[in-house]
């Protein structure tokens, strides 16, 4: 079944493309979620008009993203503070969501899905990552993971007031001795 993609669909294509997919996949998944429409004659004419509008929008959006990219390049690096334990061992890892929050604090509204980490970040140090703003606009940045050392406090074993327990133990010992002497 030929369909016209209304939105970007992972592993299938981008919005505006005409694709051939299985009929069941189209009827049961793509069409109910409004991801595609059937590629009928009237729909293809509407698609051509829609493509022209999308080109205008994408050109405008590309200009905006280039401005954001220049501002991000000016930022240079992003610092994230993480708690570490003994031996600089991090509790968890740094995620794209944490980086997006730091960027938001610096007045950049970047979706976490646009942040591409090359590797999992599980130790303090410097790492490189990319922010993919648009299809052909990607900004490389440096991530500086700063450790915050947890104060290791020695907690002594809990000492309870055992004076009441000692009195009970002495009383039971005295009872045992008195019952033993009474039995003999």
Task: Dump pLDDT digits (tens) for 64-80.
Answer: 888 888 888 888 888 99
CA–chain centroid gap for 70, Å, is 25
Provide the phi-psi class of 76: left if phi over 0, else alpha when psi is between -120 and 50, else beta: left
pTM of the predicted model over 0.95: no
Tens digit of pLDDT for each residue in 127-156? 999 998 887 888 999 999 998 876 654 344
Q: Which domains does the chain have, with CATH numbers?
A: 2-61 (3.40.5.10), 72-149 (3.10.430.100)
Phi, psi dihedral angles at 71 (to 5 degrees): -65, -40
């Amino acid at each position: 079944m030929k369909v016209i993609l209304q939105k970007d669909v992972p592993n299938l294509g981008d919005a505006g493309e005409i694709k051939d997919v299985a009929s069941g996949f189209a009827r049961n998944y793509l069409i109910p979620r409004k991801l595609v429409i059937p590629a009928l004659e009237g729909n293809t004419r509407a698609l051509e008009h829609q493509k022209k509008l999308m080109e205008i929008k994408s050109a405008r959006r590309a200009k905006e993203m280039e401005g954001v990219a220049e501002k991000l390049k000016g930022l240079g690096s992003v610092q994230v503070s993480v708690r570490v334990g003994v031996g600089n061992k991090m509790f968890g890892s740094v995620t794209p969501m944490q980086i997006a929050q730091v960027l938001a604090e610096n007045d950049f509204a970047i979706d976490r899905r646009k942040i591409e980490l090359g590797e999992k970040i599980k130790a303090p140090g410097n790492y490189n990552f990319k922010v993919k703003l648009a299809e052909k606009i990607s900004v490389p940045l440096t991530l500086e993971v700063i450790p915050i050392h947890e104060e290791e406090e020695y907690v002594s074993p809990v000492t309870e007031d055992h004076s009441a327990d000692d009195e009970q133990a002495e009383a039971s010992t005295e009872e045992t001795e008195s019952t033993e002497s009474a039995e003999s």
